[in-house]
Structure 1
Amino acid sequence: MSAEQTARRVEEILDAFATSDDGETAAAAEELVRTLMEFYGAGLARMVTLLENRTGDPLAALIADELVAGLLTLHDLHPEDTLTRAGRAVEAARAGASVGIEHFDPGTGTLRLAAREDGGCGCPSTMDATRQRIEAALSCFAPEVTAVEMPRSGPAAGEPALLQIGVRPPGAP
């Protein structure tokens, strides 16, 4: 289908919505088309910018970009396999947290992460924030990952941390 044919078909569909008795649905359909056009327009503009005056491997520039990589993945055009893309997402999102990929189960979509030996806090709140960053990155780079299992670390992994609050005696520095 050519661009002209596609544009004509979209207009026909929007006109059909407009002539229906449901103005709310027609407005939603127009908003959907406008949003998709903006999304794809931004992706194409980014591709042009990334490829303009580019030397070296042009594909490397495209797959390193979150927006373009997301579009390539969405249309099953991304040249990297799921595990490679998941690794890229985890590395980009972990921001100092000591986690890496242990296993990916394509049947369930579960990505299991493992603790690394390179330090890191391991605090529950820090690990929760890391999980959220990783899940957000995975939704773009590897949407086939539907669940993330992260290890709990520290001396009492899996148990709540004990917080001790004391009162200084009067006159203590």
Structure 2
Amino acid sequence: MFLQRSAVAIARRAAVAPAARRTLATSAVRLESKVPETKIKSFKEIKTADDLFGPGAPPGTVPTDIEQSTGLERLEILGKMEGVDVFDMRPLDASRLGTLAQPVMVRSAGEEQFAGCTGVPADSHNVLWLRMTRDRPVERCPECGSVYKMEYVGPQDDGHHHDDHHGHGWEEPKTMADFVKPEYY
């Protein structure tokens, strides 16, 4: 019995050479052909949306993030390379309660901005998301009463007409906040 087991174990460990050895297939890459190197624009050189397309990787290589990224992702990567926080991901000032006279300022480059309030002092209640728009920039947390105000930092003339919303006569739906006196915001 012992001999049978050891014979099986030895047979399993034995290396069996294949009848025909397979060669390693490689593709030939010409070292003489040099791909012209394209310059990657810096963050300060970005002027239009067309500048947010990467050059791509040279043939035969794997692209890096900076070579293949486009759009907002590329803008963020270029900003981080130069130490600029493009999307300003710092937390809001939670050390004080925002009031109507001195609200907690929330910067936004878009038409609307959401801010999560966790209370004063911080983490005193669950996160409540508050929506601020250019038309209604001030919002008050219903739980702790802290006041937040959106500061628009985007382009002043962005081509949108805020009054008619592209001529469709669309208006924002009514909520209970529409019936609150402005001095109570």
Structure number with higher helix proportion:
1
TM (norm. structure 1) is: 0.22
Higher share in strand: 2
TM-score, normalised to structure 2's length? 0.21
- Larger RCO (alpha carbons 8 Å, 6+ apart): 1
Larger radius of gyration: 2
